[in-house]
Structure 1
Amino acid sequence: MIDKLSWISVYPEIVLLIMACVIALVDLAVTSARRTATYVLTLLALGVVALLEGLYASGGNTLYGFGNMVVSDPMGNWLACFVSVAMMATLVYGRPYGADRGMMRGGELFTLSMFSVLGMSIMISGNNFLVIYLGLELLTLTSYALVALRRDHVVATEAAIKYFVLGALASGFLLYGLSMIYGATGSLDISEVFKAVNSGHLKHQVLVFGVVFIVTGLGFKLGAVPFHMWVPDIYEGAPTVVSLIIAGAPKLSAFAICIRLLVEGLLPLAVDWQQMLAILAIGSLLIGNVVAISQTNFKRMLGYSTISQMGFVLLGLMSGVVNGNTLSAANAYSSAMFYALTYVLTTLSAFGIILLLAREGFESEEISDLAGLNQVSPLYAGVMAVSMFSFAGIPPLMGFYAKLSVLQALISSGLPSYIALAVFAVIMSLIGAFFYLRVIKVMYFDPPITAATISAPVDVRVVLSLNGALVLILGVLPGGLMTLCAQAIVATLGT
């Protein structure tokens, strides 16, 4: 008999599932070329889910359900809330783009987006290897379908095939690693795995072998070097709205399963997996920033930017345990969470401008397509400038404090190797500033390619302006969001 508490713990996910099915059915009767009814219903559903998750998170309670297979805690609730909000912004930006490219003949964009959010929510709330893997597969399968949504577009179809092959490989690695840990501990429950590993009675070699495959699978999902091959190709080849769906919200769910698997389940093996994350972080910062310099395609450049940004998230995750001491864990993991949220918010505004500038028959994917944007629309040029400055880590924007918090977590460890990593990260950020500032130069100092005015629906203008303002405001006043992340992580680690 399933108790009432179990249903309460997954109530937002139940709402998501029911509404995804309702939206799929309602869309059958929609005849509008822009699927207005489907669009409005999807935003309302995501808004309700975000509100529910926010209320759960504000309550500060941790609930376990279905035999400890799922958990509803402040960290998971806040991340799920931000995932829903990020998807709402993505659909607002992407609806005009999709309508101009024949992606609105049916409501697949909205229903698949809802199911991808459901997959992310399941990943975030999973307290069991199988639940996490089921959520991950739901997310990846919907992502494959979204990339291939433009069936008549050869480049998108090629990107979908690449994504499918590499995604299947990544899922295989992760599943094999989880099976190794299950074989060693005899349990799929994350808390039971922690107890078994912490007992010290298991073969260390078998556990480390499993951790290697788990970190490999997580590296694929984060897009970290050397498992980054799919990122620039998919960003460039997928329809831009789908590129944003993949680039934004899923990074929050990937961060969540890193915390669930590595911290909550395998923290006694931190010495081993932190070394692996350090290698991934170094490679991501180096390759992401250096290779991005040579890119002329804006979406591809943002792909390499994502790789370098994930390097900073990994630096935060790897600095939680110092010489076996977990006193700095909350500070380190909350800085990584704050960085992940910063990345998603900034990515939304950057891709939002690309989607805004794209029109029928013109993708606006090259950096040169932004030439003279300030002369055509100072507002949109300003939003893009704020995004680029934030990515580069220039104060007083949100990205500066995100980088600062991660560097502070590294330096506070007092270890010479960690301090050297912090110096390396700063140097790579200086290199990365070049390709971000190049975009600013093109917008403000190059002559415009066309004198055509930029028009956008009211909802796009409002959300985009609010998005850009938040990147600035949360940079000037970062304390509230930082405190929220810290409290969420402390509450999660405390259970």
Structure 2
Amino acid sequence: MTTSPLLPLTTADLSPLSPELVLIGSAFALLILDLFISDKNKIWTHLLSLAAMAVVFFMLAAGVGGQGEVFHGMFVRDNAADVMKTVIVLLSGLTLVYGWSYLRQRNQYQGEIAVLIMFATAGMMLLVSAGSLLMAYLGLELLALCSYALVASNRDNGLAAEAGMKYIVLGSLASGLLLYGMSLIYGATGTLSLPGIHAAVAHSDETLLLLTGATFMIAGVAFKLGAAPFHMWLPDVYQGAQAPIALFISSAPKLAAFGMAYRLLEVGVGPMSGQWQLLIAGLAALSLVVGNLMAIAQANLKRMLAYSTVSHIGFLLLGIAGGGERGYAAAMFYAISYAIMSTAAFGAIIALSRKGFEAENIEDFKGLNARNPWMAGLVLCIMASLAGIPPFLGFWSKLLVLGAAIDGGMVWLALLGVICAVIGCFYYLRVIKVMYFDEPVGEPIPGRNDRVLGVVLGVNALVLLVAPLAMNPILAWCQNAFTHIS
């Protein structure tokens, strides 16, 4: 195997990496600055972290730094990376907005939380730009280690500590499976470069070794996505983590995991798609069935959202199983749509929660329309979109991945998806039913004076209704990222 000479890097060479450098530099600066900020002035930590996220968002949206490859192809900034990074940074910023009043009201806001979210976001950005197995693993571990700490950040809560322990134990196992699969791929191809692996796989005789390595890598990807049967961590983590942390775990990392799947499977072992697409189809079918059936039995809303996540990942995998430009574009659109819907769902829990009361049980929403019709209307939009009821965003995203599966010859999988979509409507409509048709229980929830949170949640929920009006440009944005795929 030949290696490229290590030439000195210039500022121009690093320009595609500029958004990541700004975010990581800001996170380190904020980590040090937070040491000198008193507890009563933590708003400055929060505002500065939001400002850093906003700067990086506009850098990505404006294409600052341009596209290209850095570190001899280890880091790749292309159309797909820019689309995913832009949405990831937006969702991470929304996490900070949703989390401020919730954590501050409970005297649990720590500067480390904002810093950890920033580092986790940087890990996701590196992950979706991975041009080699090494960069993919580094980005994944940066995201994972920050996520473990965030879940266990509420040190006085035994449920959070338990969730953090389960997450790190199972996450370490999944990382080991992924790393083992990568080592087998490297052993069969002799290179860590994903394009190099793609070229080597097409002419390699190590079929068994490659298939085994791809299987282990898919297992690692499935864990990060939360696909069945690698979903065991999801319900406990969602329930045990504080609502803003659960919001973060459920949104941006799912889009990053899709990016990892695209890089490792299509860019890396793409010539073996005839084999691994069948495995992806099996994971999709299992996720659709397990996720929907388990969600029906849940009384805790956070656990219900966790199992519904498994079913949504099943729909996302429909697009990957379909393959081709349309399949990946549909899967990316679904990942973006689901991340926005999940952010709104946990945002509603945050908005209705108070110190000493967590609105995380379905019965907590009884009679909500009689007490707060506006909030009930927002929750209606969220649940209808998650259920895939037209004309909400969730309906169109499901329609796209079902069409991609049919185009890929997976008609049986598309039919299963339709059946499971109908089943999934039950537990979402149950939330709507208790809001509008059940009598209120307990004392009325006191009003919240946080106008920023109310405006952000209102916009977040209403986007699910109006986004389909601008769906064609968004879908074209996703399709443009995969025009090179035949």
Instruction: Flag whether TM exceeds 0.5 (same fold).
Output: yes
Compute the displacement of 1:398 (Å). Answer: 0.5
Q: Aligned pairs, how many?
A: 478
Normalised by the size of structure 1, how large is the TM-score?
Answer: 0.94
Q: Helix, strand or coil for the counterpart of 2:482?
A: helix
- Specify which of 41, 48, 58 is matched with residue 41 of structure 1: 48
Q: Which of the residues 258, 263, 270 maps onto 1:260?
A: 263
Q: TM-score, length-normalised on structure 2?
A: 0.96
Q: Which amino acid aligns with 1:92?
A: V
Alignment of 1:81-92 (within 5 A): 81-92=86-97
**1:446 is aligned to 2:451:** no
Match of 1:324 in 2: none
1:411 equivalent to 2:406? Answer yes
Q: 1:204 to 1:293 in 2, by over 3 A?
A: same
Distance 1:120 1:412 in 2: 30
Residue of structure 1 in register with 2:103 after alignment:
98
Structure 1 residue 350 and structure 2 residue 357: aligned?
A: no
- Structure 1 gaps of 5+ residues are 321-328
d(CA) in 2 for partners of 1:456 and 1:192?
Answer: 56
- Deviation per residue, 1:340-362 (Å, 9 max, x gap): 00000000111001011111111
- The corresponding residue for 1:176 is 180
How far apart are residue 454 of structure 1 and its match?
A: 2.7
CA contact (8 A) 1:24 1:111 kept: yes
Q: Alpha-carbon deviations, 1:16-68, whole Å to 9, x = none? A: 111001111222222244721111111110011111111229x9x64111111
Whole-angstrom distance in 2 between the partners of 1:439 and 1:476: 26
| Structure 2, unpaired ranges of 5+ | 1-7
Pick from 48, 55, 63 the counterpart of residue 62 of structure 2.
Answer: 55
Q: Deviation per CA, 1:319-358, whole angstroms, max 9, x where unpaired?
A: 11xxxxxxxx111100000000000000011100101111
- Counterpart AA for 2:341: T
Match of 1:142 in 2: 146
* Structure 2 equivalent of residue 28 of structure 1: 35
Aligned partner of 1:75 in structure 2 is: 80
AA partner of residue 256 (structure 2): S
Q: What is the match of residue 5 of structure 2?
A: none
The question of whether the paired residues in 2 share the 8 Å contact of 1:194 and 1:268 is answered with yes
SS in 1 for 2:322: coil
Q: Deviation of residue 419 (structure 1)? A: 1.1
Counterpart residue number, 1:326? none
Find the counterpart in structure 1 of residue 237 from structure 2: 234
Identity among equivalent pairs (%): 42
Once the two structures are overlaid, the 10-residue window that deviates more, 30-39 or 276-285, is 30-39
**Which residue matches 1:249?**
252
1:456 Cα deviation from its structure 2 partner: 4.1
Post-superposition Cα deviations, 1:292-312, rounded to whole Å, max 9, x if no partner, equal 001000000000010000001
Tell me if 1:18 matches 2:25.
Answer: yes
Task: State the alpha-carbon separation in 1 of the partners of residues 46 and 372 from structure 2.
Answer: 27
Once structures 1 and 2 are overlaid, which stretch shifts more, 23-32 or 430-439?
Answer: 23-32
State how far apart, in whole Å, the 2-side matches of 1:201 and 1:32 are.
59
1:406-431, CA deviations, whole angstroms, 9 ceiling, x for partnerless residues? 11112234x3xx11211110000100
1:478 pairs, out of 468, 471, 476, with: 471
What CA distance in whole angstroms lies between the structure 2 residues aligned with 1:451 and 1:257? Answer: 45
Distance 2:470 2:21 in 1: 35
1:279 to 2:269 alignment: no
What secondary structure does 1:489 align onto?
coil
CA drift of 1:3 comes to 3.7
- Would you say the 8 A contact 1:5–1:63 is kept in 2? no
Aligned-CA RMSD value: 1.4
Q: How far has the Cα of 1:474 moved from its partner?
A: 1.1
Q: 1:374-385, aligned counterparts within 5 Å?
A: 374-385=369-380
Structure 1 counterpart of 2:118, from 109, 114, 120:
114
Q: What's 1:290 paired with? A: 293
- The answer as to whether partners of 1:12 and 1:49 remain within 8 angstroms in 2 is yes
